[in-house]
Structure 1
């Protein structure tokens, strides 16, 4: 007896996404561990030294976490008001932070003691950074100014006051420490030179700037604000390009993978990962709420996102299973004296696999077509797996029994079928095979509509409206296709040669001309 072959319901599934090396690389990040804080996470910064602790600035404290245990190892709470933008020095021993107290504070990470207090701002200080290889700190404040401080004397070195709104973003050039940029809520990015003591460049971002970033070469910088990331050349503030992959405000940017990848976090709950060579998106990370801050460890082992609801999402890279097995095998000590292998005969076990058949397959196997139809007309099947309903309808049509099933329809199943028709007629996947089924249904019941319940008649009228709407859309596409063909024809006409003989293909080719000359000679 031949084995019954079940229906193939996979034909309507969407094609699999292309798996790239970047997708594999970033998929190795494990599920994020959620740590709850007391307020929105303002800033996250990783220590450059192993084990790469990260500082989370939130509410009235700065907490230093261990990325492996996800536990707090240091708690800097010398704040009376909110703390902002805590960052590590390049040796990981010192940490500076702004605050709502209009001061900049410098801490010793190991002892948690407050070393310096820089006073001079008149409003909240949201971003602070150490200057590479110099005993200086740069602060960016809501008083529309940027200040450079000397750590040893706590004195202000220079002040730049050229913004007209809050300054909430800044960065120091990694190659030239004298160069720094600031981004303000006035939609302007300013570049300053400490040797001149004033602004040397202005770039118009045209949206409140949330974050700025230098690329490692130092000649290109990025600014993000609104839904755009803009790429600027430092020489002349020339706009090199603009990237718009988010649909809500971009709040933070970070470099990763040895500065070959750029990460941007947004209020749309997504972190986009770009290739810095062409700024194309190579992967996307999704989080449960809007993202305010982002941090990436130097070796990409840990990615931390700070959310607006006070959650810190810590994603740690998982080691490959093959590497783990290799380590176990290398650590396993084999003792040949204690272990003896006894020869055994081969044992063949016969097994028969019994697949579980779907309910509609069992009905089709017994030629119970009406019951197979009723099985796939359940509301949960139509809503969750419409491709199964479509497959069974096509199988009934192939067996030439769909006409008989439609003639014997009960009113409740007729209403469900019409609902499926209304939903599927506008779906490109289902519309083509549904058209002959709708014709068949209307041929059977068109003359009996006056005997049907009012709700079924309303559903037929709705189906008629949907068909009319689809026809109008097709007409519009036909008009658009004609217009495009005219444009293509005009462009081809403009590329035709000016010589009328070449246009008519009457001009002989070079080989034909040579043969003609040889024949004449």
Structure 2
């Protein structure tokens, strides 16, 4: 009678893969990036509100309007003698304003490419220009530490706000509903809130803590966001401009902010080559986009149709949203038709039709090679097979499972006796490489102890390669002992501090300690306990 052999039970460890969320599924629908190349840094990107397929790029002395589908230049506004900055569309998409290095602000007609207005007054470069909510005025933010409000129809300055910042003003945002309110951010780290109706123009002065690079209002106008340094800060306008939250997901300077998903998602791009996407209801990161170089500017099309990012080396990345062209109800109809026309097996002649046909049992997957060797009690062949080829590198848990099985059978020592030096050295190197992993520590400690017991009385007969491998194993043991000693000292120190705080009446969160006893076959020089601190 043949006994049934169960395959080796390989323990499944927790995957380190990212948890899939609805946002991850949604933003993974962005297609592979399509790249355009300009000569200099892409200063600013903005989508046209009237024609969502067009976006404007500000680079060097040119302002170019591209088509999102064809990736070709629709209009080229090259009326600049020096570098142009911050070309942005008006809310209706009919006008476009841009600053330049000469301190001028130019207003263009997007249909004819003509310069409609030329605003002169700044004495230093103007990096950002934005239209007010009523579309009648234009605000410009310059390096002369001044903010100017212009009347579009009369081509005259309405108000000048100087001496409020002590450094360059490179960021600003207009209130989406109230045309009389806007904010400015400077390289002095200060944020100013303006109200043109009040006698005291500057209503609030806030401190971002770093040079402000970008700002925007949320669609309802009650909250505005500032970016500077490696932080993104959210301010409550209704609640007295108090700080709501602070996000530090970037490890380099945050350069641009944008809104997506009809204002439900916030985008931030930085010099760390990442674009972070936040949920504005919780201000938690829901997705991350990675780019080949530092992101300087960014724009998101309406309905999340595309995400365009401009980089410091002049590279433009365009990621379009993949839309299913076939409606779901058509798919369902076609699936039903295919099901109806699918041929079913016909019953044979002269036989009665039955309700259900029992199919033959489907055989499961065969045993793996090392399982076959274990079934035949060929322990040496089982260990050699699982450590052969690339199994030990790609799937170390398989090797540990075989070692654990041999330890349970008390056959690991006999498996390692009288083996070639190459096999023993490879086994010792595997133990040294994975000895520090918590999930493999217990079986590998017992395996290392077995190796030391085997060669304890045979060190004279060992080769130089094997001696070097045993020295590496001893060093790995000493490293684990040292780490264990430090953890035990840390545990004692924390217990003492917690005890003192409890005696004084303070409530302190007490960490949890999980103690694991050392293996029985551990050498005498190893520690008696391994303590894992779980926060």
| Corresponding position of 1:171 | 173
The residue aligned with 1:203 is: 206
8 Å CA contact 1:449, 1:457 repeated in 2: no
Structure 2 distance, partners of 1:325, 1:285, is: 28
Structure 1 counterpart SS, 2:302: coil
- Please name the residue that 2:354 is paired with: none
Instruction: Tell me, in whole angstroms, the C-alpha distance in 2 between the residues paired with 1:494 and 1:13.
Output: 34
Q: CA deviation at 1:129?
A: 0.8
Other-structure match for 1:99 = 100
Which residue in the other structure is 2:236 paired with? 233
Deviation at 1:90, TM superposition (A): 0.7
Cα pair 1:158 1:197 within 8 Å, conserved: no
* Alpha-carbon offset, residue 272 of structure 1: 1.8
Query: 2-side partners of 1:15 and 1:400: how far apart?
Result: 33
Give secondary structure in 1 for the equivalent of 2:304. coil
Moved more, 376-385 or 134-143: 376-385
How far is the alpha carbon of 1:181 from its aligned partner? 1.0
| Shift in Å, 1:359 | 5.6
Query: CA offsets per residue over residues 418-476 of structure 1, 9 Å max, x none?
Result: 33223322222222332211221221123334534252243133213322233124314
Question: C-alpha displacement at 1:107, in angstroms?
Answer: 1.7
In the alignment, structure 1 residue 260 sits paired with structure 2 residue 268:
no
Is the CA contact (8 Å cut-off) linking 1:230 and 1:243 kept in structure 2? yes
> What is the SS of the residue equivalent to 1:309?
coil
Deviation at 1:221, TM superposition (A): 1.7
Summarize the Cα distance change of 1:45–1:397 in structure 2 as closer, same or farther, 3 Å threshold: same
- Once the two structures are superposed, residues 106-149 of structure 1 have per-residue CA deviations (whole angstroms, 9 ceiling, x without a partner) of 22222222222222222222111111213221111222221112
TM-score, normalising length: structure 2 = 0.81
Alignment counterpart, residue 458 of structure 2, candidates 448, 461, 465 = 448
> For the structure 1 residues 480 and 228, does the alpha-carbon distance in structure 2 shift closer, same or farther, using more than 3 Å as the test?
farther
Distance 1:382 1:484 in 2: 44
- Correspondence for 1:306: 310
Paired with 1:6 and 1:24, the residues of 2 have a C-alpha distance of 36
For structure 1, list consecutive stretches of 5 or more residues without a partner in the other structure: 335-339, 496-521
Report Cα offsets for 1:300-337 as digits up to 9, x if no partner. Answer: 2212222223222222222248x4464478899x9xxx
Partner of 1:464: 477
Matched-pair contact (CA < 8 Å) for 1:51–1:66 = no
Whether the 8 Å contact between 1:370 and 1:405 is mirrored in structure 2 is yes
Aligned 8 A contact 1:292 1:308 in 2: yes
* 8 Å Cα contact 1:379-1:416 kept in structure 2: no
- CA 1:300/1:443 → structure 2, altered by over 3 Å: closer, same or farther? same
> Residue deviations 1:348-389, cap 9 Å, x none?
998977858766556556654434433444585444433333
User: Could you say what secondary structure the match of 1:210 adopts?
Assistant: strand
Cα displacement (A) at 1:480:
5.3
Cα distance change on mapping 1:197 and 1:385 into 2, 3 Å: same
Alpha-carbon RMSD across the aligned residues, in angstroms, is 3.4
**Matched position secondary structure for 1:12:** coil
1:217 to 217, 220, 235: 220
Gaps of 5+ in 2: 349-356, 509-535
User: How far did residue 251 of structure 1 move?
Assistant: 1.3
Does the residue aligned with 2:380 lie in a helix, a strand or coil?
Answer: helix
Q: What is the number of equivalent residue pairs in this alignment?
A: 489
**Does 2:436 correspond to 1:426?**
yes
| Alpha-carbon offset, residue 285 of structure 1 | 2.1
- CA-CA distance at 1:227 after TM superposition: 1.6
Greater mean alpha carbon deviation, residues 443-452 or residues 370-379: 370-379
Measured in 2, the distance between the counterparts of 1:404 and 1:309 equals: 63
Tell me: CA distance 1:359–1:319, structure 2 relative to 1, closer, same or farther (3 Å).
Answer: farther
How far apart are residue 189 of structure 1 and its match? Answer: 0.9
| C-alpha spacing 1:493/1:245, structure 2 compared with 1 (3 Å) | closer
- Give 1:187's aligned residue: 189
The residue aligned with 1:345 is: 346
Counterparts in 2 of 1:28 and 1:152: CA distance versus 1, 3 Å: same
1:74 aligns with 2:75: yes
Structure 1 segment 134-149 matched on structure 2, within 5 A: 134-149=135-150
| C-alpha distance in 2 between matches for 1:467 and 1:341 | 63
8 Å Cα contact 1:140-1:170 kept in structure 2: yes
